[in-house]
Amino acid sequence: MKLISGGICAAKGFKASGVHCGIRKNRTKKDLALIVSDVPASAAAVYTTNLVKGAPLLLNMRNLSDGKAQAVICNSGNANTCNANGIQIAKEMCKLVSEATGIPANDVVVASTGVIGQPLDITPIADGMAELTANLSYEGSNDAATAIMTTDTVSKEVAVEFEINGKVCRMGGIAKGSGMIHPNMATMLVFITTDCAIAPDMLQKALSGDIKNTFNMVSVDGDTSTNDMVTVLANGMAGNEVITEENQDFTVFMKALNTLTVNLCRMIAGDGEGATKLLECVVTGADDEETAKICAKSVICSSLLKAAMFGADANWGRVLCAIGYSGASVDVTKIDVSFKSNKGIITVCQNGAGVPFSEEKAKEILLEKEIDILISVGEGEFSATAWGCDLTYDYVKINGDYRT
């Protein structure tokens, strides 16, 4: 298992492209992406639990009902959500891909991201299809990754290589996500490809199982997006025997998927709107996994704690406060808290009470770009990790005029 380059195109048989078609006013920003597999692929997806869902998600639930897909099209700059003709526009996007590539329209995954409640004109998308398909390339991952960005400051792509029964398999992914990130059953927009052969039902089982400990443990601002979706396409071109059950091959596949998704989680959390720091909260010593998850997520979601991290203030009381209102059943007299970064580690709380520590050393640790919040809640065997970011002045600036 190793990290490799190539992103969404690292897996055999996947091309991608990204262009500016005119949805976004800034001509320097790409706003339309396309991912295509050379052959039909097994497909799986998870979606936001927000009752208000973007039209593309509703269409995807139909298109992916047979567990198959061969292409993904995604626009940025407009979410195609809460629009009277949203479904029709999403269908038109799939039809345009079909006309340009020959892939059946119901084998196309469609996604949109951007402003909610603004009508999405199909014209620029139609006008951009010729360039979009002409630019499809086995090295096009970064073009697609930048085309799906909204308030993201950096593109997010990662790939891993692994082996199943002597066959080298690859898996790659791109993601966008910076604000409105507080998912449940999905997150942001994430597109994953692999050349590993796996049955659709096992692919869905792998994805649904993985997100519980990865994407569902990320929070930037406490808002669950209307367009959150994670999609995986597996075209089988690596030539391994098809994974049809929970065996050793499935375990290896799950490890590869988890390696990929954890890396994307860290990228998304670290690029939160206005963020200057990536926060990783690790809770250990819990009596059960759910308790560990509740504690970790509550801490990473605390606006007060996030603000303290921005100010490099070792205000450990905010950690205990967040655990205290989380609803988790823990003995507060057994909670230990430490902060860690490349500058070292410092213990600030033991057995639920403060201990003497150097404020100067703590500040030095907390001024780093990546901060670990280490919490022990007892002597149990269970643990959990959550990812987030600090809360800065720029978050308010970005969202104060996002629509205009």
Q: How far is residue 13's CA from residue 38's CA, in Å, rounded to a whole number?
A: 5
- From the list 160, 161, 190, the residue with the least C-alpha distance to 45 is 190
Q: How far is residue 394's CA from residue 280's CA, in Å, rounded to a whole number?
A: 21
Both structure tokens of 392: 């800065």
Q: How far is residue 333's CA from residue 335's CA, in Å, rounded to a whole number?
A: 6
Tell me the backbone φ, ψ of residue 21, rounded to 5 degrees.
Answer: -105, -15
Tell me the backbone φ, ψ of residue 47, rounded to 5 degrees.
Answer: -130, 160
Q: 94: left (phi > 0), else alpha (psi -120 to 50), else beta?
A: alpha
Determine whether 22 is exposed, middle or buried from the number of CB atoms within 10 Å of its CB (0-12, 13-18, 19+): middle
Catalytic residues: 187
Q: How far is residue 228's CA from residue 375's CA, in Å, rounded to a whole number?
A: 29
Determine whether 350 is exposed, middle or buried from the number of CB atoms within 10 Å of its CB (0-12, 13-18, 19+): middle
